[in-house]
Amino acid sequence: MNKKRITPLEATNSVKKSIVKRRSKDNRLKLYGRIAIGLAVCFLLFLFYSIFTKGFPGFFQYYVTLDINFDRERIDPKGDLSDNSLFDGEASKIVNESLFSIIEPKGRKAKKQAKKIVSSGKDVRIAKMVKNDPSLFGTITKVKFALDDDIDSFLRGYIKRETPESERRVSDKVIGFVDKLNQDGRITYEFSDYILKGSASGNPEMAGIKGAFIGSMLTLSVCLLISFPLGVATAVYLEEIAKKNRITEFIEVNINNLAAVPSVVFGIMGLAIFISIFGMPRSIPLVGGMVLALMTLPTIIISSRAAIRAVPPSVRDAAYGIGASKLQVIFHHVIPLAMPGMLTGTIIGMAQALGETAPLLMIGMVAFIVDIPNSVMDPGTVLPVQIFMWADFAERMFIQKTSAAIIVLLGFLISMNALAVYLRKKLERRW
């Protein structure tokens, strides 16, 4: 022993010497933790900020008000309001004439450019109006038409006047026309009647999410109808009925593994099994829902099992004690008591499914479908895929429409998750 034992006094002095440094180290770690959380929260806020600032304008767009002469002869030549007759009519021409009377374009070329100011959906709009209200015929009514997306982008300031004419998509002449319309007070910026009611369209000013939204709902219903009963049944079987043996262990391992399989792989399976082997059609919500159901199944099973496990054995004993059979115990006591937990898990699973994109691309729900699907057998698309497709389009206006669609999607996801949290809080039972 060449060194003396350290006395308490020496120890105290030694600690005092080092304490400042150690305290600052401690504070540094705390600071790093704060910075990390701050960064994560900043990312989140920035993400929401960038989506919302882009997205809110997407719910609005520019309209021009024109005086339309509802001349029955010209709009509805056959006079029976049929699609054919309206198609043969000259609605577009009437709109153009009304437009020309205000901005007075000179020459063929100028007229051609002027026509493009108003969205190409003008004839459809007139057709819809007269179908809804035939009494419009013979009147001169003010009608609002969406402006073409380039004009819209110009009015929003994305296309700048200062840019040399050759480099911008709106010519000087057209800018002159738009200015004239503006002076007349005919251009208004209002809530878009396309974004929520319109369907997929190559013209951004007419594009809307209705088709994708209905597709999402159909797909989600199929997914729910398959995964909820299956998930609950599996959970009940594994927790309450099955004996713990190799087979049930194998099933459990399988379920855990399925939860880890990347979603795109489920899409490949759907493609290879449902479409290629069973010969089901592509792009339909039925197949999409089935694929998503298999994907959400592990989530539902795992949360349902946790909920069942949380039901105390005393409840089961009490029921067995008065002579209930196993199934009566399960269906009369265990499942009702575990239901809040099961529902919470199911809602969270559904939220996952609602936001999922990749597997649906695989089974062809990415097709450009204008028609709104009426049943699970009609080709359709879903909101996230619609977002994916729009994000790929070049037109400037699609960025706002995409962001608007994202806001709708996030709105649904947040309310679903909020519902799950509410359910858990409200129905949670403490044993």
Long-range CB pairs of 33-40 (<8 Å, 24+ gap) are none
Q: How far is CA 102 from CA 70, 97, 127, 186, in A?
A: 18, 9, 23, 10
Q: Is residue 236 within 8 Å of 335, Cβ to Cβ?
A: yes
**Residue of 202, 177, 187 whose CA lies nearest to 111:** 177
Q: Which is nearer to other proteins, 198 or 231 (CB)?
A: 231
Give dist(CA 372, CA 395) in Å, integer.
23
The pair phi, psi for residue 312, each rounded to 5°, is: -70, 145
> Considering only 160-168, 204-212, 215-223, 397-405, which stretch makes contact with other proteins by CB under 8 A?
397-405
Q: How far is CA 426 from CA 149, 214, 299, 306, 430, in A?
A: 48, 30, 21, 18, 11
Max Cα–Cα distance, the chain, nearest Å: 118
Residue 122 tokens read as 């003008």
Q: Which is nearer to other proteins, 124 or 230 (CB)?
A: 230
- Rounded least distance, CB 277 to other proteins, Å: 8
| Burial class, 292, CB count within 10 angstroms (exposed 0-12 / middle 13-18 / buried 19+) | buried
Q: Which of 129, 175, 269, 310 binds other proteins (CB under 8 A)?
A: 269
Give dist(CA 235, CA 298) in Å, integer.
10
Site for other proteins (CB under 8 A): how many residues?
99
Q: Which of 103, 118, 174, 406 binds other proteins (CB under 8 A)?
A: 406
Q: Which of 69, 188, 257, 374 binds other proteins (CB under 8 A)?
A: 257
Q: Which of 262, 312, 336, 411 binds other proteins (CB under 8 A)?
A: 262
- Rounded least distance, CB 290 to other proteins, Å: 10
- Rounded least distance, CB 44 to other proteins, Å: 6
**Residue of 178, 112, 176 whose CA lies nearest to 147:** 178
Question: Pattern of binders to other proteins over 61-100, x per CB under 8 A?
Answer: ----------------------------------------
**Residue 266 binds to other proteins (criterion: CB under 8 A):** yes
Q: Which of 65, 113, 221, 417 binds other proteins (CB under 8 A)?
A: 417
Q: Which of 139, 256, 314, 374 binds other proteins (CB under 8 A)?
A: 256
Q: Which residues from 310-349 bind other proteins, rule CB under 8 A?
A: 325-327
Q: Which of 175, 410, 419, 423 binds other proteins (CB under 8 A)?
A: 410
Question: Pattern of binders to other proteins over 29-58, x per CB under 8 A?
Answer: xx-xxxxxx-xxx-xx--x--xx-------
**Residue of 303, 407, 295 whose CA lies nearest to 360:** 295
H-only helix segments in 107-171: 108-115, 122-132, 149-156
**Residue 141 binds to other proteins (criterion: CB under 8 A):** no
**Residue 425 binds to other proteins (criterion: CB under 8 A):** no
- Rounded least distance, CB 48 to other proteins, Å: 9
Q: Which is nearer to other proteins, 68 or 301 (CB)?
A: 301
Q: Which residues from 215-254 bind other proteins, rule CB under 8 A?
A: 229-230, 233-234, 236-238, 241-242, 250-251, 254
Give dist(CA 143, CA 122) in Å, integer.
10
Question: Pattern of binders to other proteins over 353-392, x per CB under 8 A?
Answer: -xxxxx--xx-x-x-----------------xx-xx--x-
